[in-house]
Amino acid sequence: MENPKNLKILIVDDEEKICEMFVKWLSLRGYKVQFALDGKKAIRLAKQETFDFIFLDIVMPGIPTHETLEEIREISSSTKVVIITGKLIDSGLLNELKLQGASDFLQKPFKLDDVMKLLPDQD
Amino acid sequence: MMKQRILIAEDERITAESIKRTLEYLGYPVSSVVSSGEAAVEEAKKNKPDLVLMDIKLKGKIDGIEAARQIRSLADIPIIYITALTNKATMERAKKTAPYGYIHKPIEEKELLSTIEMAFLRHKLESQLKENEQRYRELVEKAGVGILIDDIEGTILYSNEKAAELYGYSVEEMKKQSIKSLVHPDDIKMVLKFHKDRVQGRSVSSSYVLRGIRKDGSVRYLELDAGCYKKGDEVIGTRLYIKDITESIKAEEEKEKLQSRLAHSEKMAGIGTLAGGIAHEFNNILQIMGGHVEFAQRTKKPEDIDEALNVVTSHADKAAKIIKDLLTFSSAESSDKKRANIAELIDSVLLLTEEHFKKYNIEVVRRFQKVPQVEVNRGELQQVFLNMITNARDAMFSQGGKLTIEVKGDGNRIETSFTDTGIGIKKEKLGRILEPFYTTKGSFGKGDIPGTGLGLSVSYGIVKRHKGTIEVKSQKGKGTTFTVILPVNKKKPKKTTLKK
C-alpha cells in the first residue's frame, strides 16, 4: 500500500458531531477525511473519487443503509466499508451486511484505537 | 253470503212446524227439526248448524239444557232457549250453558227474529274477540323474549314460556315467584327501587341489566326493558321484557381479557422500540462525548481542547434532557382514569419524539384548540398517541414531511387528528389496518420499517374502552389522517363483571 497519509476516507453519519469527531481523530494521525450526512451525498462523493475506507452509519434517514452499501460496492469494489451503529444489531443482519460487502463493524461507543486498528499501520 | 242454518229442537210438532215456516219466511234455512235431546246433540255433531233453537222440555232421556251443554262442549254453536217455563232452578241451570237468549212461548215473530239476529251478532263479535285474544296470546306466550307482569308488590302475575324457561321454572311455578326470589341479592335493592319509582310514576331508566337467580340457584345476566302495567290510568304493576345476555357478557369479558393481553404485548413492543431509539440516541451521545475526550487528551492545541470539552458539556446536557423527558413520560402512567388535558398528553409524547423527527426532516405542527378535559387512563392514551405519532414518522421515514396534530372539540366530543404527508395506505389495505397482527411494515434493515401489526389494533381497543373511536382517511402517495374521537363528560359506564 502507498503512503497511508494519502488514504482517502469518507465518514457517513447523520450526526454531524460524530463526523466532526472522526475528522478530529484522524487529523491527529495526519489523515484527510471527508464526510457526508446522508447516504445520497455519500454516493455522490463515492462517484467523484475512489475511497479506501468508508465508515457508514447503519441507521439513517433517506435511502436505506443496505442500498447505500450496495451502490458503494457497485461504484468501487476496492473500497473497504466499515459499518457503524448505535443500535444493537443481530448476527443475522450483520452476516447479511458482510455478504453485501461490509468489511468490518463498529458498535457505538467505540474508541479511537478501535478505528486505528482497522486502518493500515502508520510508517 | 250463505244464510245461517238453524237447528230446531222442539217436541211439539205443531210448534216446531210453525217455527220452521216462520224462519224460512224470514230467510233462515232450517237444517233439521228434532224432538229429543239426544237427536239434537247428534244433529249438531253431524250437520254443524250455525244456531240451535232449543226447547228446554224435550223427549228422550236428556232435556234441552243438558243437550245444549253437550253441544256447547262439542262446538262453538250459539244456543237460544225456547221455553214456557220460568221456574227459577231451571233458569239457573240454563244460565250455566251461556245461552245467547230466551224466547218465550207463545212465540212472536218479531221476538224470534230480533233474538236470532242479536245472537248471530254477538256470536260474530265474540269470535272476533276470541281470534284477537288467541293471536295476542300466541304472540306473547311463544315470544322469543321473556315477558313478565308483576303487581305493585312485585309478585309475578303472568309469565310467558320464555321467561319461565330463562328462570328454569314452569309457567305455573313462575306465578308463585316474586322479584325477591328472581333477582340476585346484590341487585335486589336497585331493582326494588326501580320498581317502586316506576309504580309511583317517577321516571326511571326503562332498560337495565341485572343478575337473575334461576330455580337451580345459578346466576344469569338479564337485560330488562320495563314499563308500567296499567289498568285505565292506574298503575297496577310493571311489565317486563327479559333477554338473557350472559353469553354475550362472557364473550365480551373474554374479548377484554384478550385485548388487555394484546395491549400488554404491544406496550412491551412499544417500550422496546422506545428503548431502542433512546439507546441509539445515548450511544451517539456517548460516542461524541468519549470521542471528544480522547481527542482532547491527545491534541496539543489548547484551543482544540476547549472546543472539544464544550462539545462534551453540551452533550451531557442533551443526555440529561432526554432522561428528564423520559421521566415526564413515565410519571404520567397510571392504571386508573383521571381527568386529563389531551394537549398535555400529546406534548408529553412529543417531548420524546420531536427531536428525533427533526433528523428525519419531519416538521411537527400543533393546532391545539382549547377543549374540555376528559376522563382517561393517561398511560393508555399516551400509548395511543405514541402509536399515532410513530406511524406518522414511519410513513414519512424516507422523504420527510409534515405531521399536523390537531385537537378540537366541544362539550360532547374531542377529536384529535394526526395528519402526515407520508406514503399513504392503499385503499384495499385500509379496511384491515385495525386487525391484530396486520401490518404494512416489515423487518428492519430490509429497507422497511419494523412493525408488530399490533399498534393500531391495541390503540383501537384502548379508544373503544374509552367509548371513543378511531377514524382513518388515506390517499396513496399523499398521506394519512388518523382521528381519535373521545366522548366528553359521559357518565361513567356501569361495569358489569361476572361474579361467582
- For B390-459, give the secondary structure using H, E and C: HHHHHHCCCCCEEEEEEEEECCCEEEEEEECCCCCCCHHHHCCCCCCCCCCCCCECCCECCCCCCHHHHH
Task: Give the tens place of pLDDT for each residue, B70-115.
Answer: 999 999 999 999 988 678 888 888 899 999 999 988 888 889 999 9
Residue of B nearest to A93 (CA): B445
The beta-carbon neighbor of B445 closest among A61, A93, A108 is: A93
Q: Please indicate whether, in this complex, the C-beta atoms of A24 and B308 are within 8 angstroms of each other.
A: yes
Complete DSSP assignment for A79-123: -EEEEEESS---HHHHHHHHHTTEEEEEESS--HHHHHHHSPPP-
**Edge-first strand listing for the sheet containing B146-151:** B156-159, B146-151, B234-244, B219-231, B207-213
Whether B294 sits inside 8 A of A67 (CB atoms) is no
pLDDT at B214: 94
Domain encompassing residue A105: 11-111
| Phi, then psi, of B218 in degrees rounded to 5 | -75, 160
Q: A18: which chain B residues are within 8 Å (Cβ-Cβ)?
A: 284, 287-288, 291
CB contact under 8 A, A108 and B276: no
If one counts the domains in chain A, the total is 1
Q: Is residue A119 part of a domain?
A: no
Residue A5 domain-assigned (yes or no): no
Question: Cβ contact (<8 Å) for B287 and A108?
Answer: yes
- Is the pLDDT at B431 greater than 70, yes or no? no
Residues of B in CB contact (< 8 Å) with A are 276, 279-284, 286-288, 290-292, 294-295, 298-299, 304, 308, 311, 315, 359-361, 397-398, 400, 444-447
In this structure, is residue A33 part of a structural domain? yes
| Rounded-to-integer distance, Cα A18 and Cα A110, Å | 11
Task: Judge whether A3 lies within some domain.
Answer: no
Mean pLDDT of A32-56: 90
ipTM of the complex: 0.85
In a domain, A23, yes or no: yes
Backbone dihedral angles phi then psi of residue B322, each to the nearest 5 degrees: -60, -45
Q: Which three cell numbers stand for residue B99?
A: 245461552
Is residue B256 pLDDT above 80, yes or no? no
Q: B292 contacts in A (CB within 8 Å)?
A: 21, 24
3-state DSSP assignment of residue B40: helix
Structure-block grid coordinates of residue B338:
383521571
Cβ pair A36, A45 in contact under 8 A? yes
Res. B351 pLDDT band, cuts 50 70 90: confident
Say what the pLDDT of residue A47 is. 92
Residues of B whose CB is below 8 A from A62: 398
Cβ pair B374, B414 in contact under 8 A: yes
Is residue B128 pLDDT above 80, yes or no? yes
Question: Shortest CB distance from A18 goes to which of B284, B397, B398?
Answer: B284
Residue A4 resides in a domain: no
- Strand B401-409: give its sheet, edge to edge: B362-368, B401-409, B413-419, B479-487, B469-475
Does A2 fall in a domain? no
Contact predicate B295/A26, CB 8 Å: no
Q: Which domains does chain B have, with CATH numbers?
A: 6-140 (3.40.50.2300), 146-244 (3.30.450.20), 250-487 (3.30.565.10)
Position B343 pLDDT exceeds 80:
yes
Q: What are phi and psi of B50, to 5 degrees?
A: -90, -15
Considering chain B, what percentage of its residues have pLDDT values greater than 90?
Answer: 41
pLDDT of res. B291 = 93
Span B201-219, average pLDDT: 87
Amino acid at B375: E
* Chain B residues closer than 8 Å to A14 by CB: 359
- Closest CB to B295 among A15, A18, A25: A25
Tell me the pLDDT band of B179, cut-offs 50, 70 and 90: confident
Burial B398-433 (b: 16+ CB within 10 A, else e): bebbbbbbbbebeeebbbbbbbbbbbbbeeeeeeeb
Which of A28, A61, A109 is opposite residue B359, by nearest beta carbon?
A61
Considering only alpha carbons, which residue of chain A is nearest residue B282? Answer: A86
Nearest CA in chain B to A14: B359
Q: Is residue A32 part of a domain?
A: yes
Per-residue pLDDT at A123: 46
CATH number of A63's domain? 3.40.50.2300
- Give CA–CA dist A34/A51, Å, rounded: 10
Q: What is the pLDDT of residue B2?
A: 63
Question: Residue written as cell 466499508?
Answer: A81
What 3 state SS string does B192-207 have?
Answer: HHHHHHHHCCCCCCCE
Residue B500 — pLDDT band, cuts 50, 70, 90?
Answer: very low
More confident site: A65 or A61: A65
